[in-house]
Amino acid sequence: MEMIEKVERLRERADVTYEEAKAALEDAGGDLLDAMVILERMGKVRGPAQGSYSTEYEEQKDYIRVRDKVEQQKKSAPSFTHTVGRLFRTFFSFIRHTVFLVTKDDDIIFTMPTWVLVLLLFFFWEAIVPVMILALFFKVNYSFDGAQNVKRANDILGKAGEFAQDVRNEFAADEAVSREDVEAGDGSCDVEDVTDDSNHSSC
């Protein structure tokens, strides 16, 4: 179907000018149905009159498809407030039904309800966060436990522990290399101390 025919088809179903119909088609990439959806959102698509029978069955079917597609898009795209509300409900459910564990070498040091941890972080985060980060480098690990799905949160905490472990390993390796260099330097003779005098002991 040519562009002119599509424009005329749109004008038959919507209260739009030639330019408006053409612009809608261009926005829809030439797709007639998508163009009708755009015009439907603008409130310019005329529905079939109630109590009347049209011989143009395809036009009525197109309108029904447009209406259904618009409704489907509205249902599939939740509002911002709905999304934020769902996130808050999930968060509060998580902190109410889980506990926070602090462990070292697989031994539990202490536990606390997650909501207590959230309150402490809210009021004293400047002191608590640095201490928690520093503790990671002393083989302290954190995790959640409870009825809620804690796998994702524990995966994040596990990666933090792995990062601290990698830093510890790199530091230990550098320290070992430095120690070996010092020991090798102490066991060797200084070139200036080596002479041909037989009274000096050899290195």
More confident residue, 63 or 23: 23
Range of the domain at 117: 97-186
Mark whether 103 and 178 lie in a shared domain: yes
In a domain, 33, yes or no: yes
DSSP annotation string for 8-62: HHHHHHBS--HHHHHHHHHHTTT-HHHHHHHHHHTT-BPPPPTT---S-HHHHHH
In a domain, 86, yes or no: no
Q: Tens of pLDDT along 27-70?
A: 888 787 888 888 888 777 665 544 444 444 455 555 555 556 65
In a domain, 199, yes or no: no
Give the number of other CB atoms < 10 A from CB of residue 91. 11
Q: Tens of pLDDT along 49-59?
A: 444 444 444 55
In a domain, 148, yes or no: yes
Mark whether 139 and 176 lie in a shared domain: yes
In a domain, 133, yes or no: yes
pTM of the model: 0.48
For the chain, the domain total comes to: 2
Amino acid at 150: V
